[in-house]
Structures are given as C-alpha cells and as structure tokens.
Structure 1
C-alpha cells in the first residue's frame, strides 16, 4: 500500500504580511534600538548632569542613581502587564502607544530644569519602553513562519547587543558637541520616523480568544515586581542587603510574587499558564536569560569605571573600546541558528556561557597597563558568547508558547532579563563597593573625618575628595587605583561564577540536538490562524 505524501503545513502568516516581513523587522529594530540605546547612553552623561548649571543640573549622586533607577523600576514593573495587554488589545496599538509615550518622555527629559524633573520624566520613558520591548518580539513571532523565526530572533538579539554597545559612543559624540539634554532629544525624530513606518507597515495581531482579564494576577505581578526591583536597587545603593527597609521590600516582593504564582495556578483564566514552567527547556531558558544578564550587567557596571577612572579614557573612547562586543553580537547572533541546527541548543548555549564566563573572568587579571588589544579580544569573546546564548534561549522561550500568547512569552523573556540585570548591578555592585571600601579604608587616615565616609564609597568618590584636598590628596590616587583593581578582580570572578552556573543549568535541562529529519518542537495548543484573525 503506497504511503500518502506528507503535506507541508499551511502558511500561518497571510501572504501580504509575509512579503513585507523583513521590512517589518527593520521597523521593529528601529523602535527597539532607541529604547535599549537610551539606557546605555545615560551612563556616559552622569558626570555632565552632575555639573552645576548651566553645564548640567547639579544632580547629587543619589539623584543621578534615581535618574537611572526610575526608568528601571517602571520598566521592569510593567513589562509583564504590557505583554498581556498586547495579546489582548492588539500588539500594534500597544507598540504605537508605547513608542509615542517614550518620545514624549524623551522630549520632557531633555528639557528638565531640575534633577527631580529628570527622574520623573525618566519614569515616563520607562513606561513607554515597557510597552515597546515585549511588543517588538511578539509582532516578530506573528509575521514570520516558524522555520524563519530563529533567524529573525537572531537579528533581534543582535540589535539588542548593538544598541547596548553603541549607546556610549553616541552619547560621547553628542556630549562633545551639544548640551546634556541632547542625549534624550535625539530620540524624538527617531520616534516620529518609527511611528510613521509602524502605522504603514506593521500588521496588528492579538490573541483571538483572550478570555476574561485576570485583574488580580495583573495587580499582583505589578506590585511584586516593583517591590522586588525597588529592594534590589535600594540594596545596591546602600551596598547592603541586610538593611531593614531593603529586606522588607525584597521579601515583600518575593512574597507577593509567590502569591501571584499560587493565584495563577488556581485561576480558571490565568494571566500566564504556569504549566509552561514545568517544561524543563522553557524554565532553563528563562533561568539562563536571568543569569546571563546578572553576570553581564554587573561587569558592564564596573568596566565603565575601569576604562574611564583607572585607564583615563574619555566617555567616547571608552565607548569605542566596547565596539568589538557589538561587532561580535551583530555578526554571530543572526547566524547562531545555523550552529544550533548542527550541534543543538544545549551544546551551543553551554559553550556560549563558558565563553562568556571566560570573558568576564578575564577582568580578574586586568591591571592599569593591560594592553588594549587584550581588552578588545575579551570584549569580542563576550559578544560572541552572548550571541550564541541569547538567540537559542529566546527561541526556546518564544516557541514554547502558542503564537497567540507571543506577548506573554516576550514579557516573561524580558522580565527575567531585566530583573536579572538589576540584580547583577545591585549584587555585584555591592560586592565591588564592599571590596573597595575594605581595601581603601587603611589609606584614609589623612582625610578629614567629615570626608572619610564619602571618600570610601567608590573610586570616583575617593578621586573627588583627593581633588578637593589639592596636593595633600595626591597620596590617595595610587591607593584608589590599586583598591579598585583588587575589588574589580573579586567582582569579575563572582560574575564568571554566575555565568558558569548558567552553563550548568542549560547543560542539564536544555534539549540537545534533534536527530536528522526529526520534526521541530511544536506546541500542542497552537493552531492555524484564520486569515484576518490573529494577524492582519
């Protein structure tokens, strides 16, 4: 009896959308670029903003930290909710609204007259960014067929890495020629262009059967994430996670999130199906995302001080030195799918995490005279490692969920990334601060008692006090460099250890290479979309 031929699966994406899918990806990358880039741009402008008016705003160290953290707090707290609303209301509507709010917040931030205004408008930017980030990935999953999704996600992941790396370069160029507000105002024309192109090219998509909204779950997720991220940020500021207020907020956030999980398991219309987390590949992928950004963001935090404070490079020069990381991400991320097809996601991600751990741990051997070419090789290795991690794990997360739940999947992916990054900056920043203080305290005997506590906070604080003391402060400079390098070595080894932990997780739980000819992973609940139903 002759076997009936196997029919190829019918296309899920309407032909009109399929034809313009790469142009749509380009528009999504444009909106993603400004949201991610703006976060890294601000890091090079903090010194200028701290300067007295009219050069800057005269912001204090605490105000500068909250100019960064207000964005992070709102962004992380609303990511999950934004993904759910995209699935329910339509991802195009959410994307357009988010990018518009981000543009308005950027214009207001550029025109801020006080540090408090800047903090408030950065929170508005975080609100817009929270709705943009998950929507870009959710739209991508609905305009590409399943076999092309890994390639598209690779380009998306490469764009994230590119934006992180070119942010300091863009900021350095702007600050050399314009006032500090230009780092925000530059977003406005890009936002206007993105709005026009989105309205023209991007199709709308949503979950055709969203069910009733889980309002309790949404509120619990917001409250839990805000409390957790606030506690993490505050603990990093104080360089102590035993402070009573820090403990209350962190433990309170974890308790609320635990209540959220219990509620979701019992709800007949959950905001997110907790059964997805019972899939080892899904849970391993989101854990890897959190661990990768925990390790990487902690090193990114101290590498800026190493390049500028210890090595004496300008903000622009420091940004240019990180270009190899961006180049490696841009080159390897879109091609990572080919390596996965040959060796399997488990092998590729494990190797990527080991490479990242080596790149992060290399900082433990850097000193003030390490050759520049060595720095460039290490940054390139970090970028190559990231490229072979982010694409496979993002594909694992997104393809584990039905297409109509793409917003939820993207929100989970980005929430773990953001919380992991915030933890990395806070925890590894605290390790750096504690190690630095322990090394420098023995050299502060000649500093006036009123300045001693300030001088021990960071290398920037020590060098600032040394400058105020004039010739008497010269004796602090060399010990400050030595103390920072020792602290950086300890922190680098800690970050490398976190990356190696991620390697163990993916090696244990991520699926290996499929046999040749075996069907790809499928989602039982996924069904073909009727024309005009989920994508139009």
Structure 2
C-alpha cells in the first residue's frame, strides 16, 4: 500500500494537463465558468420543482404520492447513477461525459415541459436525473485536472457555492416562472442554459481521464445498489398507504437489507468494484458522506412541505412564497463564500459542527410555525436555516474528495453528490410518511370535533390526501360557513403534521452535528482503497 502527498488540503496534486495554455481552451477560470452552468442547471432542478409542485399537482391531478415521485424519481435516478457516472468519466474522459450529460439533461427537461400526464412527467424526470448524474462528477473531475494544486481549494469552494446558490435560488426562480408563465417553463428554462454550457464546453473544456481508469464496469454492483435504494425509498413512500407493519412494507425493507448486504459482499470480491469499500476506512470520508445524507434529509425533506405551507395554507402566490424564502436563499448565497474562506483557514470540523447545530435550531424553530405565523418569524427560521446549510454544502465536498485517492476522483465526486441526493430522496419520503401518518391519525378526530358532516371511510381517505398537501377538501357548492370550518380543520391538521416532520428533521440535524465532529481536512491516504479489495 502507498500513500499520496497532501497538497493544500486537497486530495493530491492533479496530474498536469500540459504546459500553461494560451487562449480559451483549458483556461482554469473559464473551465469553472463552463462547468458552473451545467452544475447550476442540475442543482437548480433539485429545488425549483418544489415551488412548482402545487401547480403541477393541480394541473395534472396529482396526489401527494405523485408529487413525491416527481421529486423522488429525479433524485433517486441521480443518486443511483452518480457513482457509475463518475467511473465513466474516469475511463472515457470527463469532458465527454459532461457534454453528453448537458445535452441529455436539457432535452429531457424540455420533454417534461411537453408532458401532459403524471407518468410521463415522472418518466422524463428519471431520464433527466440520469443525465444529470453524468455531468456532476465530471464537473469536479474537470476542475481537479485544470486547476493547479494551490488554487484547487478555492475552485472547489466556488463550485460548492454555485451548488448552494442554485439550490437555494430554485424557489424564487420557480415562483417567478410558475406565476408569470406556467409550470412547464420551470423545465423549459434548462434548454437555453444547457445550450450555453454546451457551446462553452466545446471551445473551452480539455479532456481528462484518470491514469488508473477502470477497464470494466461492475454491473452486478450497479444492479444491487440500485435495487437496494429503490426498495428502500419505495417502502418508505408506500408505508403511509400500507402502514409500517404491513407485509408488503416489510418485504421491501427486507429486500433493501438483502441487496445492500449482497452488494457489500460482492464489492469485496470483484476486481473493479463500483465503490471500493476500502475508501471508507477513512473516518473523515465516511463522516463526510453520512453528513451529506443527513443534511440533505432535513433540507430537501423540509423544503418539500414549506412550499405547500406557504401557498396552500397562507394562500400565497408562487412568487410571493418564493420571496418569503428569500432569507433562506439569500443567507445561503451570501454565506457560502464566507464559509469557504473560514473552512480553508481553520479546517472543516468546527464550521461544520456549528453549521449543523444552527440547522437543528432552525428546524426546531420552524416546527413551532402555525397557521398564523408572521412573516418576521418565518424569516428568522428560514434565514438561520440558510446560514447553517451553506458551510455544509461547501465543506463536505472538501472532506469527501480530499480524503479519497486521486485515481478515484470520479467515484469521490459521484459519492459526494450521491450522498446529497439519497439524503434528499429519503428525507422527502420519510417526512412525507410522517405527514401522512399524522394526518390520518388526527383528521378524523378534528373533523368530528368541529361537528362537520359525517363522511364515509373512502371520503375521509380522499380528504386526507388533500390535507397532506395543505388543501381544504371543499366540494363545489359548499356553504361559506361550512367551507370555513373545513378549511380551518384542514390547515390545523396539515400544520400539525408539518411540525412533527420538522421535529424529526431537527433531531436528524443534531445527529449530523455529532457526525461533523469526525470530519477533517483531506489527507487523501490511498491505503485501503487501492484496487478495491479490503
């Protein structure tokens, strides 16, 4: 086993492409600009759809489960494919995989805009996620190959800032587009951005592939990992319909355990594993990976319900709801570069612990919001949440990538993003299940307590589906006084479910703060990762 030299806290000095280049091709900062457009497009899509979900649900008649799959289909496809895509870039070149990803992402996004049914939207969202997976780790690989070692940390910091700013900016951009154009424009916007990234990429990006690139692909590993994650998310989402003790739920959870166990065994036996498990002998790398999962759990899972809360409970327009999230987005954009500078100076551990602690406080605070919460109080919790999230977005990249062997740069880049996407997908599913369970438990009692007209079991089930997204189940022709009572019961029940979901997210963030204590600046020891055997 060998070890590599740490350079400026990064993974290792990237292999030089050639002598300093003249003109545009290979210019480090222009490379960063180019990949920034592609990365921003993917990161924006992880949250921009959240603000459009109510409009999509109303236009296409989508249930809560449908709305979840519009989000989860994208996140799950992205998460499943990221690590494999990183290996594709290592073998065939990061420039090629980046450009293919950009084109495919833009075209599939356009196809979503032309879709008229929920199954079509979900299907193209899955395809969109697969192409997004191609370009994300490739972007990081291109930066590592282009920037000199002493400036790579700065480039990664800006890269993380772009992701954070784009993720945070999604609700505002989505609100403007949904209100002034339509929900389809949320997807059409990716076409011009993708075209710009493609043109810049053709003229600026330089090909790079790892010297120790894989000669084959771990197909069984890909299938086992994909199957395990699918079974897990499916079981969590359907638990609200089946219940946790239902044999079908237990079956999928059991399949999840089997898939992951067989995957781990297989990865120790195959010559070129999908994920060399020796990487996780690095405690900081493992901690950084877990931290990304937990952070995304609370952030994306919580944001999913905030949009319904603002639009359906407070009756805000998409733009107004986006503006109410400005404290969150603004704090993330402002604090991301500050976080990068602090992390570069003192290392990631202290900033990440503090950041996740602030995130926990913000989520516990958000759990106190009710139907009449003021804009000022909302802004306090949203702003604190943005302040806590930014350092994690920036710092976890350095922790994961910086502690991985140089020849596994594509895998490390894919792992970093996969962690975030898996966490977001699980968070949306778990908190959705929490919301559904709370509504199913409380709505019948509150309905009867308000002395509303009795309904059948089927009618109550349909009413619960509406309440889960903050809508009042009011039939046409309902007298105003009765409609007011139904609205009050629906909103109170939704807020109760949302509060419980935020409490769960807050507890997860406390655990994440503890995990952050095990992170440190990248030492990049190659020991244990080697050829992939343990």
1:215 matched to 2:219: yes
Residues 9-64 of structure 1 show CA distances to partners (whole Å, capped at 9, x for unaligned) of: 9884442299721221111111111122223232333343344xxxx445555544
Task: Tell me if the contact between 1:399 and 1:523 (Cα under 8 Å) persists in the aligned partners.
Answer: no
Q: 1:239 to 1:407 in 2, by over 3 A?
A: farther
Task: Tell me if the contact between 1:155 and 1:330 (Cα under 8 Å) persists in the aligned partners.
Answer: no
Q: 1:64 to 1:370 in 2, by over 3 A?
A: closer
Report the TM-score when normalising by structure 2.
0.87
Q: Which residue of 2 aligns with 1:301?
A: 304
For the aligned residues, what is the CA RMSD?
Answer: 2.7
Q: Which residue of 1 aligns with 2:519?
A: 510
Instruction: Give 1:293-372 correspondences, 5 Å limit.
Output: 293-372=296-375
Instruction: Give 1:14-413 correspondences, 5 Å limit.
Output: 14=17, 15-16=20-21, 20-51=27-58, 56-59=59-62, 62-213=65-216, 214-235=218-239, 238=241, 240-413=243-416
Q: Please say which of residues 474-483 and 193-202 is displaced more in the overlay.
A: 474-483
Q: Give distance in 1, aligned partners of 2:527 and 2:26.
A: 27
Residues 258-301 of structure 1 show CA distances to partners (whole Å, capped at 9, x for unaligned) of: 21221222233333321111111111111111111112222112
Q: 1:60 to 1:309 in 2, by over 3 A?
A: closer
Q: 1:417 to 1:238 in 2, by over 3 A?
A: farther
Report the TM-score when normalising by structure 1.
0.87
Q: 1:289 to 1:69 in 2, by over 3 A?
A: closer
User: 5+ unaligned residues in a row in structure 2: which ranges?
Assistant: 1-6, 529-534
Task: Tell me if the contact between 2:54 and 2:308 (Cα under 8 Å) persists in the aligned partners.
Answer: no
Residues 455-486 of structure 1 show CA distances to partners (whole Å, capped at 9, x for unaligned) of: 12352667442254612332122222222233
Q: Give distance in 1, aligned partners of 2:341 and 2:196.
A: 33
What is the CA-CA distance between 1:424 and the residue it aligns to?
1.1
Aligned pairs, how many? Answer: 507
Task: Tell me if the contact between 2:82 and 2:414 (Cα under 8 Å) persists in the aligned partners.
Answer: yes
Q: Give distance in 1, aligned partners of 2:368 and 2:182.
A: 37
What is the CA-CA distance between 1:420 and the residue it aligns to?
1.3
Residues 53-112 of structure 1 show CA distances to partners (whole Å, capped at 9, x for unaligned) of: xxx445555544433333233222212211111111111111111111111212222222
Q: Give distance in 1, aligned partners of 2:168 and 2:343.
A: 25
Q: Give distance in 2, aligned partners of 1:64 and 1:347.
A: 37
What is the CA-CA distance between 1:185 and the residue it aligns to?
1.6
> Larger relative contact order (C-alpha < 8 A, sep ≥ 6)?
2
Q: Give distance in 1, aligned partners of 2:302 and 2:54.
A: 20
Structure 1 residue matching 2:372: 3-state secondary structure = coil
Q: Give distance in 2, aligned partners of 1:225 and 1:347.
A: 32
1:454 matched to 2:462: yes
User: 5+ unaligned residues in a row in structure 1: which ranges?
Assistant: 1-6, 513-519, 527-536
Q: Give distance in 2, aligned partners of 1:239 and 1:503.
A: 33
